[in-house]
Structure 1
Amino acid sequence: MQRLPVLLDPYRADTFPYLPELAEGCKVSYKEWLKVFKKSTPTFTEHCLTAEHKDGTPEIGARQFTDDFNMILDALDKDPHAEVPGYDVQPFSCDQLCVAREQCLIRAGFKDIFLSVKREEDEAAMPILPIVLKELDSESDPKKRLILAAQGVFAGNIFDLGAAASAEHYQKRKMARKQAYEGGRNATNNNTNSENSIITDSQIDGSAPLCVANNSDADLTASIMNENPTKSDFAHTRDKLHPRPWLIDDLDLFLERLLVVQSDQSTARYDKAVLFVDNAGPDVLLGMMPFARELLKLNIEVVIAANELPSINDITASELKHLLPDIFAAEEMKTSDENINPSDDEENRPKGIFRKAAESGRFRVVSSGNGLPVIDLSRVSPELSAEVDPKAINPDRLLIVLEGMGRSIETNLRARFACDALNMGMVKHPEVALELEGKMYDCVCRFRLAGQ
């Protein structure tokens, strides 16, 4: 593993110090940070029970994971400087707690407990991608398109099973959809109106429907936490984001820096952008892929950096590479909103922006070398390091984009680079909201110039 060449000193990955002696002025104590991990543990345990296990005994593995990780959390609760034999828990931080949790899963016999969830979400989101791209293409103004694409990034980033609030709502929605499906099937069999069995977001949450102004945070989550999301679900989520200005809102500053108007045409200040992506499903497919495509339109070379190893519902580089043919085909079928099947008539379709860029070497996926839902940029893969080596790309022409709460808020929010950098993520932990003096589901869009 190597240090990202454009990363400047001093650097500490974690945005919020956990150790008491480092947390002067912080609003959240280390005990409260431990509770964040404690609250999410049941979600991990539940997914262990249905995941592939090396010995074929997921029940035993789930119990072992739960006992081991709770033991670690309890030990650190008593003494934040405690060493736990066999586990890397020091220095006590968000990054190291994520490391310890992955160690517990591996030792309990699990490799990727969220694999089925990622596949389901990818399959549900892929048919919506052509519709999202078509909507973006209908806007002729590059700035307006980029604003819409940025809003899509935040809408997609709601899907995060590492956050207890999002995970709880995901399970609630999945159960409600199952009940609605079964109720509709029974109603059909009884020759009754199946609409009576539809469970709405307001019934699930006890809140107003999505069409009502000033909807609750539960409604915002509801529109994307859907077992079978539709275009309207995604559009609702995007439209119901907290209004601008966001908690941190440098979007206009970024767009002013990005777009250079020459001869009545918009070109870009950058030659290359490296995008660190987060979750599978709507996040990467409906959020980051359309955003990447807008950069490609500006003739910017785009490199997507994804995890090497599985962690929560974060997409891996190998998984994303496997999806690329479907992404290419989905773009090339964006002329129809109905019955979209990315595998149909591929040879007869004109090549899209993604495929052309990939074939010319201007769009690719690389492994970041990471295996966590956060990232320490002092430890990245040689492959990623080479992409931003100043010998290969002038830092003045390079853009780094960090996306997702883990990579852009809980870590690296204050990281400094030798190039321009953009952090985009949604607040999904109350503790993070408290530290940033914001609220749940606030959007963070932080842009800074090189060296800032």
Structure 2
Amino acid sequence: MESSGELVALPVLVESNYRACTIPYRFPSDNPKKPTPTELSWINLFAKSIPSFRKRAEADDSVPDAPARAEKFAQRYAEILDDLKKDPESHGGPPDCILLCQLREQILRELGFKDIFKKVKEEENAKAISLFEGVVHHNDAIQDEAARIENLIRGIFAGNIFDLGSAELAELFAKDGMSFQASCQNLLPRPWVIDDLDKFVSKWARRSWRKVIIFVDNSGADVILGILPFARELLRLGTQVVLAANDLPSINDVTYVELIEIIAKLKDENGKLLGVDASNLLITNSGNDLPVIDLSRVSQELAYLASDADLVVMEGMGRGIETNLYAQFKCDSLNVAMVKHPEVAQFLGGRLYDCVIKYNEFSK
């Protein structure tokens, strides 16, 4: 379903006291004209990512004079971040993770860069599609349901490592690439920083969910080898699954259009995903254009589909930790993501590359 019209609140969101951004950068008692230590830390984090974004922009052959425009992006964004250090209320501040992402995307788009990660997304999608069958057969071979669900969740964590918005991971990826199976095997051991896996598996066994909304994150291994095997398992139970993807490109997040193409390549001529009927799998446009999301501003199409959801899944650090970790819903909810910034690890009291699986069971 294509997005159109004004953005609205997700109907199953509890709007009272909703605050999209998880980490408080400042408090009412802070001086509005002076940046807080947390604001400075996050401004510096975004500044650290500028070289990797500039490098991607320079290589965008769809944009005339890409190297010169990439340099202009780097200079302009750095200047804005410096302005925010001097006056947090400049440029629409005080800053939070949503504003810092918005400013970066705005500058890129104004300079003609529509999708600087397009090439790497296409490469990673092709690679992940070739591995999909093997990953699914490995999951299907696990007879014990609880063990199979845990393996699927671990697959989401492993896939979620492919995140080019993290400067460290972007550098590692450029150097070595990423192995999905190795990532699965090298996850930090349980207990994770937030670990509701057993509670989630227990609820799964009760077959309570008729409709599940999943806010997807990155292209490549994340959505294809992590989310889609998980969604396929839900489809096997007769659950309707709605995958909500970004309207516009942002970092290496998968878009609505890209996800439709991916699903079309994975389905057989009978509309099945490796033997599982996929007629209950719907793809919708979330209306979002950032790697984080404010659930009070989603597309009307998504709002319509989510009105009777039994479970909302927020996947990925941007949507599930940096925003919406404490969001409350009128249905069950699951936040599942890997911690990929030291600042997030510090806030949660966990480790870098720690895992988060936070499950809230709704009770009337």
TM-score, normalized by length of structure 2? 0.93
| SS across alignment from 2:337 | strand
- Counterpart of 1:99 (choices 94, 98, 102) is 102
Task: Give the drift of 1:154.
Answer: 0.1
RMSD, aligned α-carbons: 1.9
The residue aligned with 1:109 is 112
Counterpart CA distance in 2 for 1:376 and 1:11 is 10
Looking at structure 1, the residues matched to 87 and 201 of structure 2 have their Cα atoms a distance apart, in angstroms, of 46
SS, match of residue 8 in structure 2: coil
What pairs with 1:46-445 in structure 2 (closer than 5 Å)? Answer: 46-54=55-63, 56-82=64-90, 84=91, 89-173=92-176, 225-226=177-178, 233-260=179-206, 268-329=207-268, 352-353=272-273, 357-358=277-278, 360=279, 362-389=280-307, 393=308, 398-445=310-357
* Mean Cα deviation higher: 430-439 or 234-243: 234-243
Q: Which residue of 1 aligns with 2:38?
A: 29
Q: Which string of whole-angstrom CA distances, capped at 9 and with x for unpartnered residues, describes residues 244-281 of structure 1?
A: 11110001111111212xxxxxxx10100001110000
User: What is the Cα deviation at residue 117 of structure 1?
Assistant: 0.7
Of 24, 29, 37 in structure 2, the residue corresponding to residue 17 of structure 1 is: 24
> In the alignment, residue 324 of structure 2 is paired with which amino acid?
N
Given that 1:400 and 1:421 are in contact with CA atoms closer than 8 Å, whether structure 2 keeps it comes out as yes
Q: State the match for 1:41 in structure 2.
A: 50
State whether residues 10 and 297 of structure 2, in contact with CA within 8 Å, keep that contact through their aligned partners in structure 1.
Answer: yes
Assess if the C-alpha contact under 8 Å between 2:127 and 2:220 holds in 1.
Answer: yes
Report the Cα distance in structure 1 between the residues aligned to 2:50 and 2:30, rounded to whole angstroms: 25
**Aligned partners of 1:400 and 1:422 also within 8 Å:** yes
Q: 2-side partners of 1:15 and 1:155: how far apart?
A: 23
- Cα distance change, pair 47–256 in 1 and its aligned pair in 2 (3 A): same
* CA contact 1:19–1:93 (8 Å) conserved in 2: no
Q: Which amino acid aligns with 2:190?
A: R
CA contact (8 A) 1:159 1:283 kept: yes
1:63 CA displacement: 1.4
Cα deviation, residue 162, structure 1: 0.4
The AA in structure 2 aligned to 1:306 is A
The separation in 2 between residues aligned to 1:63 and 1:300, in whole angstroms, is 48
The one-letter code matched in structure 2 to 1:423 is: N
Write the distance in 1 (CA, Å) between the matches of 2:363 and 2:301.
24
- What's the CA shift for 1:450? 2.1
Q: Are the structure 2 counterparts of residues 299 and 433 from structure 1 closer, same or farther at C-alpha, using a change threshold of 3 Å?
A: same
Asked whether the equivalents of residues 155 and 237 of structure 1 are also in contact (C-alpha less than 8 Å), the reply is yes
TM-score, normalised with respect to structure 1: 0.75
Cα shift at 1:52? 3.9
Between the aligned residues of both structures, percent identity stands at: 44
Q: Which runs of 5+ in 2 are unaligned?
A: 1-6
Contact 1:253/1:447 (8 A) holds in 2:
yes
Which stretch of structure 1 is more off in the superposition, 39-48 or 320-329?
320-329
Question: 1:363, CA displacement in angstroms?
Answer: 0.5
Report the alpha carbon displacement of residue 417 of structure 1 after superposing the two structures with TM. Answer: 0.4
Instruction: Please report how far the alpha carbon of residue 23 of structure 1 lies from its aligned counterpart in structure 2 after TM superposition.
Output: 7.9
- Taking the aligned partners of 1:311 and 1:411, their CA distance within structure 2 comes to 16
Following TM superposition, by how much is the alpha carbon of 1:144 offset from its aligned partner in structure 2, in angstroms?
A: 1.4
Q: Which amino acid aligns with 2:351?
A: K
Cα 1:438–1:378 change in 2 (3 A) is same
Q: Counterpart in 1 of 2:4?
A: none
Give distance in 1, aligned partners of 2:237 and 2:17. Answer: 33
Output the CA distance in 2 between the equivalents of 1:69 and 1:148.
41
Task: Tell me the secondary structure at the aligned position of residue 322 of structure 1.
Answer: helix
Q: 1:355 to 1:93 in 2, by over 3 A?
A: farther
CA distance in 2, matches of 1:72, 1:285: 36
Contact 1:303 1:365 in 2 (8 A): yes
Q: 1:451 to 1:40 in 2, by over 3 A?
A: farther
Alpha-carbon distance in structure 1 between the residues aligned to 2:363 and 2:19: 15
Question: Which deviates more from structure 2 when the two are superposed, residues 280-289 or residues 56-65?
Answer: 56-65
Tell me by how many angstroms 1:18 deviates: 1.8
- State the 1:22 CA deviation: 7.1
Q: How many residues align?
A: 353
Task: Name the CA distance, whole Å, in 1 between partners of 2:75 and 2:275.
Answer: 47
Gaps of 5+ in 1: 174-224, 227-232, 261-267, 330-346
Cα contact 2:293–2:318 (8 A) shared by 1: yes
- The residue identity in structure 2 corresponding to 1:258 is W
1:352 Cα offset (Å):
3.2
> For 1:437 and 1:44, how far apart are their aligned partners in 2?
29
Q: 1:2 to 1:126 in 2, by over 3 A?
A: same
Conserved? CA contact 1:53–1:109, under 8 Å? no
Contact 2:39 2:95 in 1 (8 A): no
Superposed displacement of residue 92, structure 1? 1.8
Q: Distance in 1 between matches of 2:78 and 2:28?
A: 24
Amino acid at match of 2:314: L
1:373–1:407 CA contact under 8 A, matched in 2: yes
